[in-house]
Chain A
């Protein structure tokens, strides 16, 4: 073993041992899973369940008590998808015709029939499941982000199954971009509605309904759906831009 390799081995061993020690120390400091919850947990649970009529406390916190945080997170994804689309656009326009032909060819030749059939069969059930996750976020675990990613996966499955209207009249990228912008704008508009009708930005101004019913919790449900649209469009936009890049030869 050369001297360099030995030095490296020693350095790595020392660093990994240090990291492991820190992790174990951090884990030992954690409160036990059955320890009594801190006051903030009790208070937020009580507010979300009794004053906002949401049975999923996590959704109540992220889409009501701390919805400004969620707006920021949504705008991060908005900016990321917009950036990817902007950066890859130049190459896409130059080779649009070749790319469209190639995309169609690749779709027909590279995918076995069994894969395409499985993708086509999964599209319907998964779309329903994604919509269920988005629309029941205020009642059970789930919500806009998780459901949105599932819906984006459905769009990719539809493409893999060969059902996407890519070469025809409808260009999915245009539609995705519109939904992408709509999702981000709608969140800001809900915040503005709170400012106008409730005096505070993002305050819950819509009728709360009955706990446990689908149409309840006011703006929590609206924001879940809005975020679902935004996330589905943003992730699908990133997928489609990267897919175009992967199918383009050279460049």
Chain B
């Protein structure tokens, strides 16, 4: 393993732990997308640029937007009650 690979794996581990540690769901979405970014870099370092691009689009565009829209819906429901 090269130094870059070790660093990428460590960043993935730290970002994953941070995602679990955050308790506020809205902030958790943002931290989770940083975890996705760390995974993207890890895939890239392991010479899989296609997988890295898929990971990047899913974890920084698709999943955060869907999660945030669901949270916005829940928050509005809470305001009405």
Closest to B76 in A: A249
B-chain residues with CB within 8 Å of residue A152 when the two chains form the complex:
61-62
Question: Cα distance A149–B76 when bound, in Å?
Answer: 27
Question: 0/1 per residue, B49-72, Cβ < 8 Å to A?
Answer: 110111011100110011001101
- In the assembled complex, the CB of A130 is this many whole angstroms from the nearest CB of chain B, namely 10
Interface range on chain A (Cβ under 8 Å from partner): 20 to 34
Interface range on chain B (Cβ under 8 Å from partner): 20 to 34
Question: 0/1 per residue, A136-156, Cβ < 8 Å to B?
Answer: 000001110110011011001
Closest to A243 in B: B69
B-chain residues with CB within 8 Å of residue A149 when the two chains form the complex:
57-58, 61-62
| B65 engages A239 (CB within 8 Å) | yes
Question: Cα distance A235–B57 when bound, in Å?
Answer: 11
- In chain B, positions 24-81 with a C-beta closer than 8 Å to chain A are 46-47, 49-50, 52-54, 56-58, 61-62, 65-66, 69-70, 72-73, 76-77, 80
Say yes or no for B1: interface residue by CB 8 A criterion: yes
Say yes or no for A238: interface residue by CB 8 A criterion: yes
- In the assembled complex, the CB of B48 is this many whole angstroms from the nearest CB of chain A, namely 8
Question: 0/1 per residue, A8-50, Cβ < 8 Å to B?
Answer: 0000000000000000000000000100000000000000000
Q: Contact check: which of B46, B52, B70 meets A33 at CB < 8 Å?
A: B46
Question: Cα distance A58–B46 when bound, in Å?
Answer: 15
Given A33-B1, A246-B76, A249-B80, also A146-B65 (CB < 8 A): no
Q: Contact check: which of B46, B49, B54, B66 meets A242 at CB < 8 Å?
A: B66
Say yes or no for A133: interface residue by CB 8 A criterion: yes
Of the listed residues B5, B46, B62, B77, the one surrounded by the most CB atoms of chain A closer than 10 A to its CB is B62
Question: 0/1 per residue, A112-146, Cβ < 8 Å to B?
Answer: 00000000000000000000010000000111011
Q: What is the interface of chain A, defined by CB distance below 8 A to chain B?
A: 33, 56, 58-59, 133, 141-143, 145-146, 149-150, 152-153, 156, 235, 238-239, 242-243, 245-246, 248-250
Can you list 14 residue pairs at the A/B interface with Cβ under 8 Å?
A142-B50, A145-B57, A146-B54, A149-B57, A149-B61, A150-B57, A152-B61, A235-B62, A239-B69, A242-B69, A246-B70, A246-B76, A249-B80, A250-B80
